[in-house]
Amino acid sequence: MLFKVALEALGVHVEPMLARVRNGRPPVPAGPLTHLLLRVQWRGTVWHADVGFGNGTLIEPIPFGPGGPYEQMGWRYRVVQEEQLLVLQTESEDGWRDLYAFAPKPVPPIDIDVNNWFTCTHPESPFVTRLVVTEHGQDGSRTTLSDFGGDMVLSVQTPTGHRIPPTPVAREDVAALLEQRFGLREPEPED
Give the CATH superfamily of 2-109.
Cysteine proteinases (2.40.128.150)
Q: What pLDDT, on the 0 to 100 scale, is given for residue 161?
A: 63
According to DSSP, residue 154 is labeled E
Distances (CA, A) of 70 to 53, 62, 76, 91, 147: 17, 7, 5, 10, 30
For residue 127, what are the contacts with CB-CB under 8 A and spacing of at least 6?
119, 120
Q: What pLDDT, on the 0 to 100 scale, is given for residue 21?
A: 92
| CB 60 within 8 Å of CB 73 | no
Q: What pLDDT, on the 0 to 100 scale, is given for residue 62?
A: 97
Residue pLDDT tens, the chain, 191 long? 999 999 999 999 999 999 999 988 888 888 889 999 999 999 999 999 998 887 778 889 999 999 999 999 889 999 999 999 999 999 988 899 999 999 999 999 999 999 999 989 999 888 888 888 988 888 888 888 989 888 899 888 887 666 678 899 998 999 999 999 899 987 777 75
CA atoms within 13 A on the CB side of 52: 17
Round to whole Å and give the CA distance between 46 and 39: 7
- Domain positions in the chain are 2-109, 130-182
Q: Report pTM.
A: 0.87
